[in-house]
Amino acid sequence: MPTETMKALRKTRAERGAQLESVAVPAIGPNDVLVRVRAASICGTDVHIYGWDKWSQGRIKPPLTFGHEFCGVVEKTGESVVAVKTGDFVSAEMHVACGHCYQCRVGQLHICQNVKVLGIDADGCFAEFVKIPATNIWKIDAAIPEHYAAIMDPLGNAVHTVLAGAIAGRTVAVVGCGPIGLMAIAVAKACGASTIFATEVNPHRLGMAKKMGADEALNPAEMDVVQRVKEATHGTGVDVMLEMSGNPKGIHEGFQMLRAGGRASLLGVPSQPVTFDLVADIIFKGATVQGIYGRKMFGTWEQMTSLLKAGRLNLEPLFKERMPLDDFQSAFEMLEGGQASKVLFYPNGNVR
Amino acid sequence: MPTETMKALRKTRAERGAQLESVAVPAIGPNDVLVRVRAASICGTDVHIYGWDKWSQGRIKPPLTFGHEFCGVVEKTGESVVAVKTGDFVSAEMHVACGHCYQCRVGQLHICQNVKVLGIDADGCFAEFVKIPATNIWKIDAAIPEHYAAIMDPLGNAVHTVLAGAIAGRTVAVVGCGPIGLMAIAVAKACGASTIFATEVNPHRLGMAKKMGADEALNPAEMDVVQRVKEATHGTGVDVMLEMSGNPKGIHEGFQMLRAGGRASLLGVPSQPVTFDLVADIIFKGATVQGIYGRKMFGTWEQMTSLLKAGRLNLEPLFKERMPLDDFQSAFEMLEGGQASKVLFYPNGNVR
Amino acid sequence: MPTETMKALRKTRAERGAQLESVAVPAIGPNDVLVRVRAASICGTDVHIYGWDKWSQGRIKPPLTFGHEFCGVVEKTGESVVAVKTGDFVSAEMHVACGHCYQCRVGQLHICQNVKVLGIDADGCFAEFVKIPATNIWKIDAAIPEHYAAIMDPLGNAVHTVLAGAIAGRTVAVVGCGPIGLMAIAVAKACGASTIFATEVNPHRLGMAKKMGADEALNPAEMDVVQRVKEATHGTGVDVMLEMSGNPKGIHEGFQMLRAGGRASLLGVPSQPVTFDLVADIIFKGATVQGIYGRKMFGTWEQMTSLLKAGRLNLEPLFKERMPLDDFQSAFEMLEGGQASKVLFYPNGNVR
Amino acid sequence: MPTETMKALRKTRAERGAQLESVAVPAIGPNDVLVRVRAASICGTDVHIYGWDKWSQGRIKPPLTFGHEFCGVVEKTGESVVAVKTGDFVSAEMHVACGHCYQCRVGQLHICQNVKVLGIDADGCFAEFVKIPATNIWKIDAAIPEHYAAIMDPLGNAVHTVLAGAIAGRTVAVVGCGPIGLMAIAVAKACGASTIFATEVNPHRLGMAKKMGADEALNPAEMDVVQRVKEATHGTGVDVMLEMSGNPKGIHEGFQMLRAGGRASLLGVPSQPVTFDLVADIIFKGATVQGIYGRKMFGTWEQMTSLLKAGRLNLEPLFKERMPLDDFQSAFEMLEGGQASKVLFYPNGNVR
């Protein structure tokens, strides 16, 4: 049984920063589950919320407990919940689909017209406890390490992107090596990609790219990456381009690297409109371009679980600091410095 | 046996216009076929070549017999040709693939890295005779009307675009009602599209759209077409958007009409780079965007043949003037006036 | 508000026949909906249950109100139901998926490991009222005729089968012309199938096949149907084979008609094991064979709705008798005689 | 320039055995290539031809030089050949497609209606030289080991089977561990399969299965393999079943292991008709079954090349004896003893 109040990291004011507060433990409805958070991971989005950027100002309505990557143990379940039990070790899909719109009805819950994201539109997981609808709970297989369980949300982005089309025996360019780009390298490698080219301007991230399995880690600030990829593919270009940067120059280079008939899967979010040479980059090339959002519910979760259980993904290089919730300030500052690593909070203590 | 010279409509000078000349009947190699042209149809590209626009100036090397849509009767075959016989009634794929590049090897001949287009890069069909590699010949089923056989090239574009994804039971927006857009309406209807919205600023073409089977023909110059399509789809948007205009405003409207999780197939060729709201139009929408070029060799030809043989396509409204090659000037002027109709030349006379 | 008892057609004893009884109107839970049945249609499965065949003896546990094809008006909704309202005109998916098994989690609810079928495993719709989980309710668009709404369950089988792969511009063999086979003909036609061959030994059904749109209706009792289809396809065979008979001879003929590289979608349920020439029929042919069960939840329902709203399906020839529930005996006897038509009950009277 | 005669291993009589003869070096046509064989590998089919089984008796017309797995160096090219040069190190697709049938026209050359197999229907590669149509030549990337190049034909079968559907993050059952089954294990592992169950009655082959990467190697002669796989998958069954045995019991077990909604890809060739419980194994399961024949031309060859170049496949355990052509008798006898290994001939000497 939870105590009546808990510690939570909250955005209480429309300005930079966050506040550690004592708030009521969430009350759950008949179809909800209350989870005691074991570890929570900081997403780039959380860094934006902390920094109070333009996007945050338009979307976030304080007060809000933020955070949407975590794992934990089920503390309590609502009376109608049958498939989740107290004591289950779980993570959760934080995109809550409405269940009634066209997309939900045809099995595309990840692009629900009325989606609500926990940690953005409602209270999230930077707290001792978090309330989750039972249908969004994902039970963690015992073979999966605890700290991996805390990052299934971004790993799901990576898996969704990589497996949105054929990958085995394909040459791949990963454009942008933030955490999800880095995970995508590991996933592509595990799934039979032949040669993986990673591009990134930050040298530290570029070094990580090699550690995650990239065959060539290329810095567009120092070389003509398009030319290099063309050379290495006998002038053809890569079969698959995974756009993880959201950077207009990166997007442009990515499309130039892509072979005629190739697939471009776009996850990175540019902050403004992007100008395309539609004819050369997509139309005459017969390219397929996919927008990627979230993770498939729950096909992607099954794929992740299979890959993790089988030990096919080495994500260790990604993990860096682990700390109590109290040290949040140093965590956000570290990440604002351009680290592509994952920092974990342990809101209930017992950091390891 | 052909006479030694023949009449041909040629681009002999780097300037507006064309010349009717007497030239040698093409000599054929061991793997070629010589076809006596029965009817040839004028493509928008031919109008560009005639008018000598910027694209033509960069691509066309006079002297050239242009024209790439036709049907005719095989006059003679090279000694190594086995699957085509003298007297066969045929059309042809005018994109000649190299057979050796990556795309050719994996069955994507329509996006061959070294494609050469007859009528653009080498002599075409605005002549009494045309030389075609035997592998590019397509035999016309006896059940298919002669004038339909003359426009299988653009019909192939339409079929390739429409059938690049699921269409049965889908709502569809056709953006731009030139000849290929109009054909796409007929094809989508025949293939089970539920509601077809056509958008076009030219009122004559808009009227044609209704004749070809559009459920709603909407003029963006007169109304908010995005709002209308959203209303008609209960706010969801269309499942499929077929971009046939190449117009930046049309492209933008098309993407706004598209539902989350929908398919956009782009055939229209914009004359300059286009600016996109990638996030709203593609990424967060989880959309799939396909560049469409040419026709599949020869999957699309089989599909066309089946649909035409079965009488599933009524293309009659598209046909307008039929004339001897000598009247080429009036033909091009008519089309420069914005007609979306097909004008047929009969280079060997016997116009009907 | 419903009266406290209602009329229901029930299987009360483990023997041939059925009983019309007065039973309590079902009590609904928080997530359920009570529907006043307007029209209910008799499925072949209901005929088996009535006749008490071997399958029924193993599956049906009397007492049971049977029937699983219907439409009606929502009478009452449970307190947690938000997306359905009293007065809505609805049909329903009668396969109730568990929501927790692997298949449910990856969006394949139609092959849920723990599916329960209303009208077979729990009370169905041959009654004045039927209780349905709210998530299984399908609202009927106002443009769809009432009697069509009563047969969306079998129509969904047909649509699921036809649209399980490409159909536009394809030659199709429909093997077996019971009601679902007949519907499949209409669906295939509406979705761009080029030539449709229907095979069936019952001459009445064969006549119906023509009415529904078959290009050739062939009787295997009178001719070599495989040879005929091969001839008509220049020796190649059909692109798509839809198995609707469950008859071993039909299945065998169907596979022989199928071209190398073709698709066979199997819906018909053979009553015993079937012997295959796996090598010739599937392996060397590079064929794709799909087992089809139920309808996709709710992708198929969306497709049906679109096709029906757009008026693309003429199902009128299928409908025959309409009667009150009291006349059930004559209804079942008529269908036992081999009619492929749909007979409708009107449990609340007002037959039309 | 080749000498005028060469050594060839031939089937000269309709009986068990083979003869080493001196025959004329093949004369090549304008579109052919003559290859000096470096290494040739023995297929199970060759063992059947040697043993003169029932299939061989119906298909093979002596005299014939058999053998269809090899690599070598181009000795001479026909005058029309442009994409292959003397001195190129190559292998070849030995299925020669007609180029004109429906399947060839739509890009399914691997199931050509008029396919001719070199080494079966015309002279093959158990000789110092072999004649190959230039379009069937596959150039070997310098990064690929010579002995791997000799087995690209069966490796292509394995790759075609494994990649005929999604494999990443999937549980897989490989039924039958002959050479192609063993290769399939390595390919599935390299392409991200999570858990791989291999079944096989021969203990030696079962041991090889572990070496190639199987997670569980199960002997159906000793245990209930279906039950084991069900247990290990929490009752669900495997996502993918690759049938490599052609054995009726194996086929049956394979389908029982397959989960509802799973994929079964069948390559093994049963010697007689097989009886199926179609309803339980395919229909109600919503399974997809694929017949697999040959390799895609040349999509599969590209995939193989990519995987081999990237060093993703360890096939070393498969290789056993290497010998001159003269020792053919001991080679066939070894393989008739049930070895799943690859034996290589070196017809031009220099065995290594």
Mean pLDDT (whole number) for A262-271: 97
Q: D155 touching A, CB under 8 A?
A: no
Option in B100, B106, B302 nearest D105 (CB): B302
The neighbours of chain B, by the rule of 3 or more Cβ pairs under 8 Å, are: A, C, D
pLDDT tens track for D154-169: 999 999 999 999 999 9
Q: What are phi and psi of C23, to 5 degrees?
A: -130, 170
**Residues of chain D falling short of pLDDT 70:** 1-3
The DSSP letter of residue B27 is P
Contact D109, D117 (CB under 8 A): no
With the C-alpha atoms ordered C130, C133, C136, C137, is the resulting torsion angle positive or negative? Answer: positive
How far is residue D144's CA from residue D312's CA, in Å, rounded to a whole number?
Answer: 11
How far is residue D181's CA from residue D198's CA, in Å, rounded to a whole number?
Answer: 9
Asked if residue A1 has pLDDT above 60, the reply is no
Planar angle of CA B70, B74, B79, nearest 5 degrees: 130
CB contact under 8 A, B307 and C159: no
Establish whether C195 is a catalytic residue.
Answer: no
Planar angle of CA B47, B61, B46, nearest 5 degrees: 10
How far is residue A257's CA from residue A252's CA, in Å, rounded to a whole number?
Answer: 9
With H, G, I as helix, E, B as strand and everything else as coil, classify residue D255.
Answer: helix
Catalytic residue selected from D5, D12, D45, D233: D45
Neighbours of D290 (CB within 10 A): 21
Contact C50, C16 (CB under 8 A): yes
Model pLDDT, residue B306: 96
Residue in D with minimal Cα distance to B300: D106
| Distance separating the N- and C-terminal Cα atoms of chain B | 24
Contacts of residue D190 in chain A, CB cutoff 8 Å? 168, 192
Contacts of residue B296 in chain D, CB cutoff 8 Å? 107
Model pLDDT, residue C162: 98
Option in A100, A298, A302 nearest C83 (CB): A100
Option in A80, A100, A107 nearest C107 (CB): A107
How far is residue B61's CA from residue B146's CA, in Å, rounded to a whole number?
Answer: 31
Option in C82, C105, C298 nearest A302 (CB): C105
pLDDT tens track for B236-274: 999 999 999 999 999 999 999 999 999 999 999 999 999
State chain A's mean pLDDT as an integer: 96
CB contact burial B275-287 (16+ within 10 A = b; e otherwise): ebbbbebbbbbbb
pLDDT tens track for D260-300: 999 999 999 999 999 999 999 999 999 999 999 999 999 99
pLDDT tens track for D211-236: 999 999 999 999 999 999 999 999 99
Spatial neighbors of D316 by CB under 8 A, at least 6 apart, are: none
Residue in A with minimal Cα distance to C100: A83
Contacts of residue D279 in chain C, CB cutoff 8 Å? 269-270
Residue in B with minimal Cα distance to A267: B283
CB contact under 8 A, A307 and D190: no
Q: What are phi and psi of B221, to 5 degrees?
A: -75, -15
CA contacts within 13 A on the Cβ side of D185:
33
Residue in C with minimal Cα distance to D109: C261
Mean pLDDT (whole number) for B151-158: 98
D252 burial type by CB count under 10 A (0-12 exposed, 13-18 middle, 19+ buried): middle
**Tokens at A271, concatenated:** 């902050």
Estimate the share of chain D in helix, then strand, then coil, as percent rounded to the nearest 5.
30, 25, 40
Listed by number, the residues of chain C in 24-53 with a beta carbon closer than 8 Å to a beta carbon of chain A are 30
Establish whether C45 is a catalytic residue.
Answer: yes
Residue in B with minimal Cα distance to A291: B283
**Tokens at B58, concatenated:** 């960069």
Catalytic residue selected from A3, A5, A12, A48: A48
CB contact under 8 A, D298 and B106: yes
Residue A56 to residues A13, A62, A268, A350, B147, Cα–Cα distance (Å): 12, 10, 17, 31, 60
Contacts of residue C168 in chain B, CB cutoff 8 Å? 163, 167-168, 190-192, 303, 307
CA contacts within 13 A on the Cβ side of A182:
24
How far is residue D351's CA from residue B322's CA, in Å, rounded to a whole number?
Answer: 71
Model pLDDT, residue B350: 86
| Distance separating the N- and C-terminal Cα atoms of chain A | 24
Model pLDDT, residue D57: 97
Listed by number, the residues of chain C in 178-217 with a beta carbon closer than 8 Å to a beta carbon of chain A are none
Residue D117 to residues A38, C182, D45, D124, D304, Cα–Cα distance (Å): 62, 42, 12, 9, 20
Asked if residue A161 has pLDDT above 80, the reply is yes
Listed by number, the residues of chain A in 259-288 with a beta carbon closer than 8 Å to a beta carbon of chain B are 259-261, 266-267, 269-270, 273-279, 282-288
Nearest CA of chain B to the CA of D109: how many Å?
A: 9
Q: What is the pTM for the complete model shown?
A: 0.97
Nearest CA of chain B to the CA of A219: how many Å?
A: 24
Contact B167, B185 (CB under 8 A): no
Contacts of residue A270 in chain B, CB cutoff 8 Å? 278-279
Q: What are phi and psi of B213, to 5 degrees?
A: 120, 5
Spatial neighbors of C278 by CB under 8 A, at least 6 apart, are: D251, D266, D270, D273, D274, D291
Single-letter amino acid code for the residue at A181? G
Single-letter amino acid code for the residue at A102? Y
DSSP-H helix ranges across D52-151: 54-59, 102-105, 146-149
Contact A177, A244 (CB under 8 A): yes
Nearest alpha-carbon partner for C136 in C112, C113, C158: C112
Asked if residue B2 has pLDDT above 60, the reply is no
Nearest CA of chain A to the CA of B175: how many Å?
A: 16
Model pLDDT, residue C3: 58
Q: What is the dihedral of CA B84, D135, B102, A210, to 10 degrees?
A: 160
Q: Residue holding tokens 């084991």? A: D228
Neighbours of A120 (CB within 10 A): 22
With H, G, I as helix, E, B as strand and everything else as coil, classify residue B26.
Answer: coil
Q: D302 touching A, CB under 8 A?
A: yes
Residue C252 to residues A341, B323, C258, C266, C289, Cα–Cα distance (Å): 59, 54, 10, 12, 13
How far is residue C198's CA from residue C190's CA, in Å, rounded to a whole number?
Answer: 16
In a mutational test of the A interface, the residue from C77, C93, C106, C297 whose CB has the highest number of chain A CBs within 10 Å is: C106
Residue B273 to residues C13, D185, D277, Cα–Cα distance (Å): 74, 47, 58
Neighbours of D43 (CB within 10 A): 24
Contact D172, D195 (CB under 8 A): yes
Contact C23, C347 (CB under 8 A): no
Nearest CA of chain D to the CA of B105: how many Å?
A: 5
Model pLDDT, residue D347: 96
Asked if residue A38 has pLDDT above 70, the reply is yes
Neighbours of D350 (CB within 10 A): 8
For chain C, 352 residues long, the average pLDDT of each consecutive 10-residue run is: 83 97 96 97 96 96 98 96 96 97 96 98 98 98 96 98 98 97 98 98 96 98 98 97 98 98 98 94 97 97 96 95 95 88 93 80
The secondary element (H helix, E strand) that includes residue C259 is strand C258-266
